[in-house]
Chain A
Amino acid sequence: MDRPIALERDNLQTAAIRPIVAPGTLFWPIAVVLGMIVLAGGVAFLQQLRYGLGVTGLNQNVSWGFYITDMVFFIGVSYGGAVTSAILRLTNAPWRAPMVRMAEAMALVTLLIGSLFPIIDLGRPDRMLNLVIHGQVGSPVVWDVIAINTYMAATMIFLFLPLIPDIAFCRDHIGSGAGRLRNLLYSRLSLGWRGTDRERNVLERNMTIVAVVIIPLAVSVHSVLAWLFGMTVRPGWNSTLYAPYFVVGALYSGVAAVILVIAGFRRAYRLEEYLTERHFKYLANMLLALAMGYAYLMFAELLTEGYKMEGFGEGQGSGALLQETMLGRYAPLFWGFVLGGLALPIALLSLPPTRTVGWIAVASGLVVAAMWLKRFLIVVPAMATPMMPTNWGAYWPSRVEIAITLAAAAAVPLLLMLFFRLFPIISIYEMEELAEKEHDTRSEAAPAGTG
């Protein structure tokens, strides 16, 4: 029997603000542990600032390592979150409502973290200013800065617009009990929302505009990122396939990260009633399709390079790179990716017995970890491969790089936890809109007199 809409709303509101009012006993211990890791990363960065990039494993041959891998990875994850949310919003998929907030918040958080890495990689952050002063329009680095900043602004607005009614809800219902600062925050950020028809109409229209804009924007961000590599003549990178390869890879890791995030918060804040197994199965289907797409693109890339094997006999070029990646020193990482990032997840997501929330989360965890590995395999072996028959480069990350990477990984759940400590984890506004629409549809469909 269907529950009355008011009761559903009561339960929904309670669930949505549970992290704000009752975060649970594990909140602070987990936050402290994650904060510790983030702080250690901060110390590592200060260490690097003081002593320069010499404290990293970067060297003359391999000048891009963990940091660029992290940048590509985190921005890719962000892209997946934003596009998933935008596509579901534009296609008006009704099941999206309980999870879009988490996907959008994850998109912003990972983007903020990912966009820090080019600055960290510079060694001298003050030299970012040179991009403004001496930037060349023809440089993919300049394109990248413009694309990332535009995307960041769009992601913030994409998250903020549907948040306004929910902030107003917090202002009206928990504002007084939330302390002066939070009260002030809710009052300012809700902008005086009252929920009038006009407000709702304008909000809906503008959310659609941003959702429309954010999809090509996200595609462009990751394409530009791919062109940073593809526009060079370096073996392994110089490929016309790189932009779609990166875009699909980003979606793949992004959807997996969305699944991980919603699985984590679902369990932590007991949101099973709203984030049902159905949501995970739908997302698993998306992930499975992306896995197939990514496997195909990877195969196409490897086959093209493997057919030519350029420079193999001379120990240089893409032939030598392929040899090193598939059978040489990077082989454990490569086959680790193939197994852990493609074969196992595809098996787990396809077989009926493992299409459960737990196993889907496991598959997603594997994909996220393996996609980081894949980014490493894209960045480092190509740099280590000589373009002339000279020395092979080698790279081993230093403690500083490991600490900063771990800090970035820890910062994602930490920032999300803190974000949902302030704002509703489920979009109350969108859930209510959907419930009302559903209620209206039911009322219209029900025969007269049956109530």
Chain B
Amino acid sequence: MRIALLVLLLIASLGSSWVATAAHADDPPAVTLQALPPSGAAEGQTSVVLSARLTKDDTPVAGVPITFYIVTTVFGERLMKVGESLSDATGMSSVLYRPTWEGGHTAVARFAGTADYAATQASFHFDALEAESLYEPARFGLNPVRQWLPAAVGLLVLAVWGSIIFALLSTVQTIRTADAGLATTQPIPPWQVQAQHPAPLGRILVALALLVVAAAVPASWLVGQTRGPDDEALSTPNAHFENTGADGGQFDPSQPITLPAPESLAATLVSFVETVTFDDAGQPVPGSVAMPADVVINAGRIRILDGDRGRIATVTADGKLVFILETSVADAISLKGAQAMVALGDQLFIATPEDGQVVIVNASGNIENAIHPVIPEGQAPISPAGIAITELGEIWISDAANHRVISLNERGEFQRIIGEGAPSTSPEGFNTPGGLTIDGDGNLYVADSLNRVVKKFSPTGVLLQTIGAGRLDLPTAVAVNEQGLIFVSDEAAHLVSAFVPNGGYLGSISDERFAAPHSLKTDGDLLYVVDRLAGLFVFRPLGTDTSGP
């Protein structure tokens, strides 16, 4: 029994050692691949040597293929094969790489393994200072062809003209020099044309007179186009441009102006919210607002309008953005392209480009209603750039494309129109009106962007004051605080300028991060400024004496 047990143990130990030996035989010995990064790229050096050494127990492994790759991020991270070479007697393998971009590179050297050696790989980083141009000019470039193309087409056109003029002139010449005696055509048979005398001159004149009289009817209809009674009440977009401003019609908004140096207005930056952050690839990270359009304070929260993506974000206590409403262009009601937002009570009113539709959103971010402007016949659709709302619910919208400011009732019916419907420097005309606001007395302030002023109107639409002439370059929005101070965002000057109630210049707030201060709102002693490219700034202006200079 014992002997049998020993025999069994012996067989088992022999079998296991055979299995172990067999398993070891299938697993080739491990090798080491040592990456040898380029020693350092130099200026003007457009090629880099990628090298690696393969060893086994510090003994060079020769004659095996090593493949080199570069990590690229085109369509996701992947390996781009550079080349393959056999290791030499020292185990070294090298390939030449011509970088196609400048800067950081990651190279991978890979040994795929053989029956004698296990597979392995190593990677290393290097910087390329020079890159090879990806564009390889063709042997015969298109540019010379492009240069001669007009001449070739010109010749072709001349040839066409030559052909048709030849056809005409040779016909004329032939007919004029033809000999009547050579006529061989069949004579036209005797034939009596029953010719009627043409209409006598008198009949033609009568017909013409009738024509003129008859045309007077549609003519008068047409004259109504710009001289109709409606024009008295409602300035139409078809009104002609009368540049009757104080500049004598010489004002040209496209010409740059030189503003006097701004006087600094002391203001404490309470907080700054960077509305957009970018990933390594330079793309805005999800949740960013790449170009904020407007800001309001609603239900104690800061709301930011992201017109580009049709969203409204709220700013959390830690400065993060949380979206309370997201719409897309496919939705029945979309905020896509919206540029202006205002708050009344707990509600937000957003003017959208969809024919000036005003969307009403509650504090929870739910769309409650939409007011569709009832556009009178002959009036152009509204292209809103600013919105303000009175305590009584009268909605003012600036119609930038049509250079007017319109008030609507809750049914969307036009109440009042200020502006001429065309660019104008006249006292009650606008050139691309932007942001609007209403002060405590119900007066309306309009940022008249390309006229470079802010205009103040009474609640009935009478011009009271022109503010900021010579101090503003491109006013895009206006806000008035409880003290009556007027703040104007100036995108071109990269400033927020402040004016006292009588219109006197108080000073300007600046920040080195200002790139395009676009819209602003006041709340208590705080001033909220949305910069299209930088983010949201919250200032507390200091020492704002309202008596003015």
On A, residues with C-beta under 8 Å from B are 6, 9-10, 13-14, 17, 21-22, 28, 31-32, 35-37, 39-40, 43-44, 47, 50-52, 54-57, 59-61, 137-138, 143, 146, 150, 153-154, 157, 160-161, 164, 169, 172-174, 177-179, 182, 191-200, 202-203, 206-207, 209-210, 213, 217, 313-315, 320, 386, 389-392, 394, 396, 398-400, 403, 436
Contacts and interface: CB of A to CB of B under 8 A. Distances in A.
B221 A399 contact: yes
Contact of A32 (B161, B180, B210, B337): B210
Contact of A40 (B168, B185, B218, B237): B218
B69 to A, nearest CB: 33
- Please classify the interface of chain A as helix (H, G, I), strand (E, B), loop, or mixed, using the class held by over half of its residues: helix
Contact of A47 (B176, B223, B401): B223
12 contacts: A21-B193, A36-B218, A54-B241, A191-B172, A191-B176, A198-B174, A198-B182, A200-B185, A209-B166, A315-B328, A315-B329, A398-B378
A436 B239 CA distance: 65
Contacts of A13: 188, 191, 193
Given A203-B171, A213-B160, A22 B337 contact: no
A192 B167 contact: no
B422 interface: yes
Interface in B158-177: 160-161, 163-164, 166-168, 170-172, 174-176
Given A55-B226, A315-B334, A403-B218, A398 B238 contact: yes
A202 B164 contact: no
A99 B286 CA distance: 67
Given A10-B189, A198-B174, A213-B160, A399 B196 contact: no
Which 4 residue pairs of A and B lie closest in terms of their CB atoms, listed nearest first? A315-B329, A177-B195, A40-B218, A39-B215
B468 interface: no
Contacts of A55: 225-226, 238, 240
Contact of A199 (B150, B175, B199, B239): B175
B10 interface: no
Given A43-B222, A213-B163, A178 B174 contact: no
Contacts of A173: 188, 191, 193
A394 B381 contact: yes
Contacts, number: 210
A85 B465 CA distance: 69
A9 to B, nearest CB: 7
Contact of B222 (A192, A199, A403): A403
Contacts of B218: 36-37, 40, 43, 403
Contacts of B226: 47, 51, 54-55
B39 interface: no
A396 B380 CA distance: 8
Interface in B177-230: 178-180, 182-186, 188-189, 191, 193-199, 203, 207, 210-212, 214-215, 218-219, 221-226
B191 to A, nearest CB: 6
B211 A392 contact: no
A51 B223 CA distance: 11
B215 A36 contact: yes
A22 B197 CA distance: 9
B191 A154 contact: no
Contacts of A203: 171, 174
Contact of A54 (B150, B182, B238): B238
Nearest to B239: A54
B383 to A, nearest CB: 5
Contacts of A386: 337
A50 B223 CA distance: 11
B25 interface: no
B168 A157 contact: yes
B308 interface: yes
B204 to A, nearest CB: 9
Contacts of B353: 390-392
A127 to B, nearest CB: 16
A174 B222 contact: no
Contact of B383 (A50, A154, A391, A398): A391
A209 B163 contact: yes
Contacts of B489: none
B93 interface: no
A140 to B, nearest CB: 12
A177 B197 contact: yes
Nearest to A28: B207
B355 interface: yes
Given A315-B336, A400-B222, A51 B238 contact: yes
B425 interface: no
Query: Among the interface residues A22, A32, A37, A43, which one has the most CB atoms of the partner chain B within 10 A?
Result: A43
A38 to B, nearest CB: 9
Contacts of B401: 59-61, 391
Contacts of A198: 174, 178, 182
A192 B178 contact: yes
Nearest to A40: B218
Given A59-B401, A194-B180, A43 B175 contact: no
Given A32-B207, A60-B401, A213-B164, 9 more contacts: A14-B194, A21-B194, A39-B212, A39-B214, A54-B241, A174-B193, A193-B178, A196-B183, A199-B178
B193 A44 contact: no
